[in-house]
Amino acid sequence: DGRGLYVEGVLSPGVARSREVLALMKSGALDGLSIGFRTVRARTDAKTGVRRILEADLWEISVVTFPMLPSARVSDVKHQRFFRDRETELVRQMRRAAKMMWRSSFRQNKV
């Protein structure tokens, strides 16, 4: 787009380094991007000398502390609940349901 390259990434929750990177990104301590690519098609404006990349082969994107291009930044960090979080929530829901069933059963037997 007119602003730059838009990307979305996913960190693997089972990897300790991923959890560290997520924490650093959330705190703002890690927000640079290193973008590796090969230019396929580009155009340079004769008046300004600005080169516009029209097509590129993207090789890799890495989160880094100091990006070569200062404006290559992470703009938003969304937290997807990790597997253990989901598992914990399911256990909570099951406990609530069991309590409700037990209370309902207790009330019926009391009458």
Confidence (pTM): 0.56
Q: What is the pLDDT of residues 21-77, one digit of tens each?
A: 988 988 889 999 999 999 999 999 999 999 999 999 999 999 999 999 888 888 888
Q: What are 24's strand-pairing partners?
A: none
Residue 51's pLDDT is 93
Residue 109's pLDDT is 65
User: How far, CA to CA in Å, does 55 sit from each of 38, 49, 82?
Assistant: 9, 18, 35
Q: What is the pLDDT of residues 99-108, one digit of tens each?
A: 888 887 766 6
CA quadruple 100, 103, 106, 108: dihedral sign: negative
pLDDT at residue 83 is higher than 60: no
Distance of CA 35 to the CA centre of its chain: 16
| Of 54, 53, 56, 51, nearest in space to 38 by CA | 56
